[in-house]
Amino acid sequence: MKYRLLAMSIDGVLLKNNDRISRETKDAVDFVRKKGVYSVLVTNRSFSSAKKIARQLKMEHEMITHGGALLAGISGMPILETRMPTEMVFDAAECLERYPCRIQVESQDYEWENKHQHTRKVLGKIQFSLGEGLFQPKTYTERVSTAVYEQQLSALRLFGEFDTEQDAHHCKQKLMEAIPGVVVEQNNHRLTVKKEEATKEYALSYLLSELGIDREEIIFAGSSLADTPALEMAGIGVAMGQSPQALKDKADWITRSNDQDGVAYMIKEVFRKQMRVEV
């Protein structure tokens, strides 16, 4: 079997625990690119954050970002965009505002956030995003739902960071009951709200269809439970060595950990004898 597309998550896969990309990983991505294999980033990060990683790796193909809500070329031009319309964002924001909660509306081009009392130290207008691994400026407002209504904001995702995990769980139930068509993911005291169709596996399937590539011809490397559906749809689903056991149980291949350059090891083993392909 010739593999024509390699899809990789960023955090826990390409990045080591010190948030750096090793020379071994850079060389491996370059190696597979010279084989003619389509290389794609699939990440929870925003487009701007993922683009910085793509530049380090000299990758020029499309990226799936915002947890699957955006498929875009390296220039930022959207190919597939699964946005929450203004009405959906407004209803979700109003629900979140019933709790002591830090709220953030995220799009490709802007972020809005309420003036909730933050526990983290902030430098000016720059602070850590609720999105994975992103620093960028935000527009602050007293009440997010008001800003959404007045500015007619749509969103790729909506985040909520609660004071307690119990509040997050209670709000999650309310959101799912009140707003059809959304999916709500909880990670301890944080919620992520997006449209049901905004998934990594849906965006990846769309890209495969556009490129004329079969699922059996792709390799996906992930490290978190959120990567499970995309890993299962691939011809070879690769779990990193430090991944949760539940992800490893679904994988076709368990490679070394990110700190042991596991993705570089996997690339060399899989593509060592493969002839150049055309996509």
Measure CA 152 to chain center: 25
Please determine whether the domains at 5-81+199-271 and 86-195 fall in the same fold group of CATH. Answer: no
pLDDT of 214 over the 70 cut = yes
Q: pLDDT, tens digit, for every residue of 168-196?
A: 999 999 999 999 999 999 999 999 999 99
pLDDT confidence bin for 277, thresholds 50/70/90? confident
pLDDT confidence bin for 127, thresholds 50/70/90? very low
Alpha-carbon dihedral sign for residues 148, 187, 95, 125: negative
pLDDT of 133 over the 90 cut = no
- The answer to whether residues 260 and 242 touch, using CB atoms and an 8 Å cutoff, is no
Residue 61 tokens read as 């193909």
Q: What is the distance between the alpha carbons of residues 21 and 30, in angstroms, rounded to a whole number? A: 13
Residue 46 tokens read as 């925003």
Average pLDDT over residues 208-224: 97
- The answer to whether residues 74 and 54 touch, using CB atoms and an 8 Å cutoff, is yes
- The answer to whether residues 168 and 188 touch, using CB atoms and an 8 Å cutoff, is yes
pLDDT confidence bin for 117, thresholds 50/70/90? low
Q: What is the per-residue pLDDT for 109?
A: 86
Q: pLDDT, tens digit, for every residue of 88-102?
A: 999 999 999 999 999
Q: pLDDT, tens digit, for every residue of 226-274?
A: 999 999 999 999 999 999 999 999 999 999 999 999 999 999 999 988 8
Best CA proximity match to 103, nearest among 20, 167, 178:
167
pLDDT of 128 over the 90 cut = no
Superfamily covering domain 5-81+199-271:
HAD superfamily/HAD-like (3.40.50.1000)
Best CA proximity match to 95, nearest among 151, 154, 170, 155:
170
Render the chain in DSSP notation, one character per residue. Answer: ----EEEE-IIIIIS-TTS---HHHHHHHHHHHHTT-EEEEE-SS-HHHHHHHHHHHT--S-EEEGGGTEEE-TT--EEEE-PBPHHHHHHHHHHHTTSSEEEEEE-SS-EEEE----SS--BTTEEE-SSTT-EEE-EEES-HHHHHHHHT--BSEEEEEESSHHHHHHHHHHHHHH-TTEEEEEETTEEEEEETT--HHHHHHHHHHHHT--GGGEEEEE-SGGGHHHHHHSSEEEE-TTS-HHHHHH-SEE---GGGTHHHHHHHHHHSSPPP---
Q: What is the per-residue pLDDT for 136?
A: 55
What is the chain's mean pLDDT, rounded? 91
Q: What is the per-residue pLDDT for 1?
A: 80
- Residue 184 half-sphere exposure toward CB, CA atoms < 13 A: 25
Render 103-163 in DSSP notation, one character per residue. Answer: EEEE-SS-EEEE----SS--BTTEEE-SSTT-EEE-EEES-HHHHHHHHT--BSEEEEEES
- Report domain extents, the chain: 5-81+199-271, 86-195
Domain 86-195: give its CATH code: 3.30.1240.10
Q: What is the CA angle 15-20-21, rounded to 5?
A: 65
In this structure, the number of other CB atoms found within 10 A of the CB of residue 260 comes to 16
